[in-house]
Amino acid sequence: MPAELRVFVVDDHEIVRRGVATLLGDQSGMHVTGEAATVLQAMARIPVQRPDVVVIDVHLPDGSGIDLCSELLARMDGLRCVIFTATGDEAALSDAIDAGASGFIVKDVDGGQLVRAIREVGAGGSLFDARVAAALDRRRNRNADLDVLSERDRRLLAMLAEGLTNKEIAERSYVAEKTVRNHLTGLFAKLGVRTRTQAAVLAVGMRERLRGERD
């Protein structure tokens, strides 16, 4: 993560936008580079401000925040997006994953959770609201997936859910990064996913389901 994490906030509700900007601006090592209320404003300002992370509402007056995320990621190398939404909609989460978002957070979280999520994403990880991820997992009928996973697969999934990089997984597992990449390829095939972000979301959903079964 950079010494100072640069964040841009996109939300059409001024109170929410200013509140989030003030919260983040008060954090050590975090700087809010700018704000926007519309897709048009965001597309004009973000390439100039060059933030590390953009926090984006789903519904904007002139378009979709998820489409904005996709467009920004296509244009700007190294940028990461967090979708920040009022409702825990599994369809929106699925679309956000496909768009390349690194986080999906529902607005009923407290300020500390939001700050931690943005720091996690800024450090190269991913973070998705566990309630929505679990619902998406159920909707995709992934219950059988747990049965085909080895203990190594489950450990790997848990590390993906933590947002660890391949290098960090390799260090924790005492194997080479190439070995981690090979294990991930096999894991993705078992889960029927193409990217680590999709696998991470499933991991969060599975973790919540397992917790519910234990309880």
Q: What is the pLDDT of residues 140-169, one digit of tens each?
A: 554 445 566 778 888 888 888 787 888 899
Q: Which of 23-32, 82-91, 96-105, 193-202 has the highest mean pLDDT?
A: 23-32
Average pLDDT for residues 3-31, to the nearest whole number?
A: 94
Query: How many structural domains is the chain composed of?
Result: 2
Least confident of 26-35, 98-107, 135-144: 135-144
Same domain, 118 and 194: no
Q: Give domain status of residue 179, yes or no.
A: yes
Q: What is the CATH number of the domain that holds 181?
A: 1.10.10.10
The length of the chain is 215
Q: Give domain status of residue 44, yes or no.
A: yes
Average pLDDT for residues 104-115, to the nearest whole number?
A: 90
Average pLDDT for residues 163-179, to the nearest whole number?
A: 86
Same domain, 168 and 102: no
Least confident of 83-97, 98-112, 138-152, 178-192: 138-152
Same domain, 118 and 159: no
Same domain, 36 and 111: yes
Query: For residue 43, what are the domain limits?
Result: 5-128
Same domain, 28 and 104: yes
Backbone angles phi, psi at 33, to 5 degrees: -85, -20
pTM: 0.67
Same domain, 17 and 121: yes
Q: Given 103, 128, 153, which residue is the final one in a domain?
A: 128
Same domain, 147 and 193: yes
Write the secondary structure of the chain as one string of H (helix), E (strand) and C (coil). Answer: CCCCEEEEEECCCHHHHHHHHHHHHCCCCEEEEEEECCHHHHHHHHHHHCCCEEEECCEECCEEHHHHHHHHHHHCCCCEEEEEECCCCHHHHHHHHHHCCCEEEECCCCHHHHHHHHHHHHCCCCEECHHHHHHHHHHCCCCCHHHHCCHHHHHHHHHHHCCCCHHHHHHHHCCCHHHHHHHHHHHHHHHCCCCHHHHHHHHHHHHHHHHHHHC
Same domain, 79 and 163: no
How far is it, in rounded angstroms, from Cα 31 to Cα 26? 8
- pLDDT of 148 reads 64
Q: Given 128, 154, 178, which residue is the final one in a domain?
A: 128
| Contact present, 204 and 130 (Cβ < 8 Å) | yes
- pLDDT of 86 reads 86
